[in-house]
Amino acid sequence: MRGTKPTPTAKKKLMGNPGGRPLNPAEPEFPPTEIAVPSELMGDERAVTEWRRLLPMMQAARAITDAERTSLIALCQQWSRYLNATLSVEQAGMVIRSPSGYPMPNPYIGIANKSLGHCLKLWAELGLTPSSRTRVQTTSRDATDPFAEFDEPFHATH
């Protein structure tokens, strides 16, 4: 293992760079993504609904770039898969009959659990869980703020 994943520079800036370490000036930046529902989600109404629900929240917190777009698409697909599998379990029950007639756990339980596991990881990556949100602070700065120049951390030179 390589240890804890590094915190992205944008997230460090939002948090006020609490560690005081130098920020990566060469970190790649991506252009904002399109707001339209991606073609990858078309035909899956549950995934489209989730895209339309999450996108405004994420845009309000920060710019959504092409880098987050694919993670958001995957999250919407996994959430749809979770809902479909859960519905199948509700309809058929937790235990079903195998082709030979013996009772067995409904295979959709495993699909639902796996999809929910993927959602949990993606929610955290995108800052959509309560604990991941506590690590991010959003600020709205007025362009005419006379104290804006003092927001940068002070670095003494010795």
Q: Where are the domains of the chain?
A: 39-137
List the beta bridge partners of residue 65: 32
**CA–CA dist 91, 96 (Å, integer):** 11
pTM of the model: 0.66
CA atoms within 13 A on the CB side of 156: 1
Which pLDDT belongs to residue 143?
Answer: 47
Which pLDDT belongs to residue 100?
Answer: 95
Residue 130 has pLDDT above 70, yes or no: yes
Which pLDDT belongs to residue 156?
Answer: 52
**CA–CA dist 70, 55 (Å, integer):** 12
Structure tokens at 42: 């078309």
Q: Which of the four pLDDT bands, split at 50, 70 and 90, describes residue 141?
A: very low
Which pLDDT belongs to residue 25?
Answer: 74
Residue 151 has pLDDT above 70, yes or no: no
Give the mean pLDDT of the chain: 81
Please list, residue by residue across 104-132, b when 16 or more beta carbons sit within 10 angstroms of its beta carbon and e when fewer do.
eebebbebbeebbebbeebbebbbbeeee
Helices (H), 4-152: 9-14, 45-61, 66-92, 107-125, 130-133
Name the DSSP class of 32. B
Which pLDDT belongs to residue 114?
Answer: 98
Task: State whether the Cα torsion 83-78-118-109 is positive or negative.
Answer: positive
Mean pLDDT value across residues 121-126: 90
